[in-house]
């Protein structure tokens, strides 16, 4: 069967559209338009930001459940993202950690201005690596 779904967008209701657009542009490095915020194309991080009618409409998941999960190719890419976001004073809700029983799997998570949790993670992609200690 041919691939039928090319990509998808996560839709987030936000309390201040301009503030959210600035965060996704300046902190996460997204291309931001009136219709979306994307990084690494529509198959990367792709979000539709919509102005909420009232603050009660903004409902992020309760931590630690992420609202968006971004998979990365390897730990080098993950470490680069972590450093990029750290240099921009991003608020981390989960510092990088490794689950040795899941691949091993490494991840971290940040929050946006409305406390939506965005997690980033993946396997190392290099089975020859012996150390599971983070590089920071």
What residues does each domain of the chain span?
10-123
- Mean pLDDT (the chain) is 91
At 76, list the tokens: 């080098």
pLDDT for 5 equals 84
At 109, list the tokens: 């998570």
Give the HSE-up count for residue 51: Cα atoms under 13 Å, Cβ half-sphere.
6
Three-state SS at 111: strand
Helix (H) or strand (E) holding 78: helix 75-87
Question: Is the pLDDT assigned to residue 86 strictly greater than 60?
Answer: yes
Largest CA distance in the chain: 51
CATH 3.10.180.10 fits 10-123, yes or no: yes
**Claim: this prediction has a pTM higher than 0.75:** yes
At 97, list the tokens: 């950690």
pLDDT for 117 equals 98
Q: What is the pLDDT of residues 102-124, one digit of tens each?
A: 889 999 999 999 999 999 999 98
Question: Which residues does residue 70 pair with via DSSP β-bridges, in sequence order?
Answer: 120
pLDDT for 1 equals 74
> What is the average pLDDT across 63-74?
94
């Amino acid at each position: 069967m041919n691939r039928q779904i090319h990509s998808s967008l996560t839709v987030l209701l936000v309390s201040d559209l301009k503030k959210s657009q600035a965060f996704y542009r300046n902190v996460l490095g997204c291309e931001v338009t009136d219709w979306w915020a994307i990084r690494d194309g529509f198959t990367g991080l792709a979000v539709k930001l919509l102005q909420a009618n009232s603050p009660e409409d903004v409902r992020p998941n309760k931590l630690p459940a992420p609202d968006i999960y971004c998979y990365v190719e390897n730990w080098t890419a993950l470490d680069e993202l972590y450093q990029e976001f750290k240099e921009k004073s991003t608020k981390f809700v989960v510092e990088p950690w490794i689950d040795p029983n899941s691949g091993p799997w490494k991840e971290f998570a940040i929050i946006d201005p409305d406390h939506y949790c965005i997690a980033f993670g993946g396997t190392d992609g290099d089975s020859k690596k012996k150390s599971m200690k983070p590089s920071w």
